Structure 1
Amino acid sequence: MVEFTERKASARWKLRPSAGLFHRMSAFLTLILLVAAFSFGNAAFLSVNNGLTILLQTSVIGLLGIGMTMVIITGGIDLSVGSVLALSGTVTGLAVKAGLPVLPAMAVGVLVGAACGLFNGFVITKMRITPFVATLGMMLIARGLALQLTGAAPISQLGDAFGVLGNGALFRVVEMGANGFPKVIFPGIPYPVILLAVVALAAAYLLRRRQTGRHIYATGSNEEAARLSGVRVHRTKIIAYTLSGALAGVAGNVLMSRLITAQPSEGVMYELDAIAAAVIGGASLMGGVGNVSGTMIGAFIIGVLRNGLNMAGTSAFIQQIVIGFVVIGAVYVDQIRNRR
């Protein structure tokens, strides 16, 4: 019976490959057009340094978006990822301040994020509270904990080692100039970008090649049919929310490491960027549809939009308006696709 359900869910997912491919291709074309438009308006947009800036800005959105995609595929939503990001980064900073080495401290931060996700999954499946309300509650709980633990003050003086993850790069080439100051020959590949690539590949493998991924799609496609066919729906949802929380913890470590300061007020509205990245990339809020590659395209669309509008001198308020319209347009396209 379980095998039948997996085949059925997989069939539903593959019944519309042309629609899913068209959505991804249209999103990718939109990304190319945005890059071309901003490059035409400002030659510095295509510089190496600006490209690295976009990659760094997108890494946090991408990590959150991957976890959000898994949750959305199950037919749920996670409004707590921004606050969980702040709580996880804050706990990491407190652990480092207490004398714990950086890597174990970051592992503790990720575990805190996973625990928040696990709590979300438990409340949704066992207490039968809707995902919107359950994760909204966790959003308030996590933010309150982060502010309470720090007294609403940033945690600074965490040491140079704390900033390696967010500011380090692979293959960076630096030489001493004639004036005695270091000169960057090649900025290298930022560690957050490498981390995002590894996480994206692992998540894509999980969703496409592993039984858990097939169960996630089956749950979102038709929860009752999946349950009757032997899929452990509650377990699947808990896994999805736990992974979303853990990835929020990873994103928190990356962001706080970039700042070299643990800020309990960071991550506000990040959950909306994560949802936007997933939806723009083709994930359906009805559940059962979505993939990591589409979410990555959506994350880069948001990153390019923010960066290009910043370079054009557009205010942050106008940026929110533009991205809001983009999200509405993506959801409208998804609604049309579902009707067809």
Structure 2
Amino acid sequence: MSQAVKPAQGRTSTPLAGLMPDATKIHRLSALLTLLLLIAGFSLASQAFFSVNNGLTILLQTSVIGLLGIGMTMVIITGGIDLSVGSVLALSGVATAMTVKAGLPVAPAMAIGVVVGAACGAVNGLVVTRLKIPPFVATLGMMLMARGLALQLTGAAPISQLGEAFGRLGNGALFRVVEMQPNGFPKVIFPGIPYPAILLLLVAIAAAYMLSRRQIGRHIYATGSHQEAARLSGVRVDQVKLYAYVMSGALAGLAGNVLMSRLVTAQPSEGVMYELDAIAAAVIGGASLSGGVGTVSGTMIGAFIIGILRNGLNMAGVSAFIQQIVIGAVVIGAVWIDQIRNRP
């Protein structure tokens, strides 16, 4: 019989309670306010920003960041970090394209791409939990290996001519209405809801339900909040961490399918610096790099802040180099706010 463990002194709630601290709610509300201000500001700066087509473009751009951000949020909540998601995205997309080229139908090929991503995540998790290597170093190593493998498998050349079916996930839309004109050319009456946006919504709902309503979600929060207390309470900490890294890798693989499908070409050089966008989305949305804090809804707000910021700056004619400076400043600001929030 295991003895009951007394809660640590100084805590008003247990990690397993799954309750969101007031500071986190305030952080998420401030992020939502920032998102609304960005939308208002860019709408005033350009009439085209608030158009339907630009809104759909933002949804497409944000879908990849959002998928990566959800997986990153799970890892960050456990107290870890995953720097490999951009490279895993590229490797998974390449794996999908190679299997399509080998004659496999698109759907099973994309499933293989997700499995490749999950396998990379499993390696990350095992290195962190079994070899006790810090997550920063472990995932940095995977970032280099996955990118190198993607480039080696393709000879650093893109894989093209993948067929119309390959591009359906990234370029298709639900409820799209197209009318044929008398001159024989199609006219889009309603562009529809992009499949990547629908996929992001479904994944976000499933992840939010898992984190808030399922035992594994409570264990993820407990592991990041106080690892030793969670272990003494019966939580299998190593398995929980492994699960988080596998999910991060699988969602990176799914994001790779979406991105490569949008391009209808597998680019082994895609996904560079995407890990920073994913981390930024999670932290801006209220996830704490100290672990134990974070929500999927907050990460979605953070992802849209990143997506809208990039889109608005592009429309304003701001160079890509200045955009990097702005996004970097936003990340530093979000982490600084997180540090202030965690001070006693």
Instruction: State the TM-score, normalized to the length of structure 1.
Output: 0.97
Is it true that 1:50 corresponds to 2:54 in the alignment? Answer: yes
1:232 to 228, 231, 236: 236
Q: Which amino acid in the other structure matches residue 244 of structure 1?
A: S
C-alpha distance after superposition, 1:204-261 (max 9, x if no partner): 0110000000000000000011111211000000000000000000000000000000
Output aligned runs, 1:291-306, within 5 Å.
291-306=295-310
Unaligned 5+ residue runs, structure 1?
none
C-alpha RMSD over aligned residues = 1.5
Kept after mapping to 2: 8 A contact 1:66/1:244: yes
Distance 1:4-1:181 versus aligned 2 partners, 3 A rule: farther
Kept after mapping to 2: 8 A contact 1:5/1:218: no
Output aligned runs, 1:111-260, within 5 Å.
111-260=115-264
Distance 1:176-1:29 versus aligned 2 partners, 3 A rule: same
C-alpha distance after superposition, 1:271-314 (max 9, x if no partner): 00000000000000000000000000000000000000000000
C-alpha distance in structure 1 between counterparts of 2:190 and 2:279, whole Å: 34
2:86 aligned residue: 82
C-alpha distance in structure 2 between counterparts of 1:31 and 1:3, whole Å: 45
1:9 to 15, 31, 44: 15
Runs of 4+ in 1 over 3 A off after TM superposition: 1-7
2:326 aligned residue: 322
Alignment length, in residue pairs?
338
2:284 to 277, 280, 284: 280
Instruction: State the TM-score, normalized to the length of structure 2.
Output: 0.96
Q: Which amino acid in the other structure matches residue 189 of structure 1?
A: I
C-alpha distance after superposition, 1:85-115 (max 9, x if no partner): 0000000000000100000000000000000
1:108 to 99, 109, 112: 112
Work out the percentage of aligned pairs sharing the same amino acid: 78
C-alpha distance in structure 2 between counterparts of 1:255 and 1:190, whole Å: 13
C-alpha distance in structure 2 between counterparts of 1:22 and 1:292, whole Å: 15
C-alpha distance in structure 1 between counterparts of 2:342 and 2:24, whole Å: 11
Kept after mapping to 1: 8 A contact 2:87/2:146: yes
1:25 to 22, 29, 40: 29
C-alpha distance in structure 2 between counterparts of 1:145 and 1:99, whole Å: 22
Give how far 1:19 is off: 1.4
Kept after mapping to 1: 8 A contact 2:16/2:219: no
Distance 1:2-1:323 versus aligned 2 partners, 3 A rule: farther
C-alpha distance in structure 1 between counterparts of 2:154 and 2:171, whole Å: 24
Distance 1:5-1:14 versus aligned 2 partners, 3 A rule: farther
C-alpha distance after superposition, 1:179-217 (max 9, x if no partner): 221000000000000000000000001100000000000
Q: Which range is displaced more, 318-327 or 173-182?
A: 173-182
Unaligned 5+ residue runs, structure 2?
8-12
C-alpha distance in structure 2 between counterparts of 1:246 and 1:304, whole Å: 25
Q: Which range is displaced more, 186-195 or 223-232?
A: 223-232
2:10 aligned residue: none
Partner SS state of residue 185, structure 1: strand
1:59 to 51, 60, 63: 63
1:69 aligned residue: 73
Partner SS state of residue 321, structure 1: helix
* Bigger fraction of residues in helix: 1
Kept after mapping to 2: 8 A contact 1:2/1:230: no
Partner SS state of residue 189, structure 2: strand
Kept after mapping to 1: 8 A contact 2:72/2:278: yes
C-alpha distance in structure 2 between counterparts of 1:130 and 1:30, whole Å: 33
Distance 1:36-1:15 versus aligned 2 partners, 3 A rule: closer
Distance 1:32-1:123 versus aligned 2 partners, 3 A rule: same
Q: Which amino acid in the other structure matches residue 50 of structure 1?
A: N
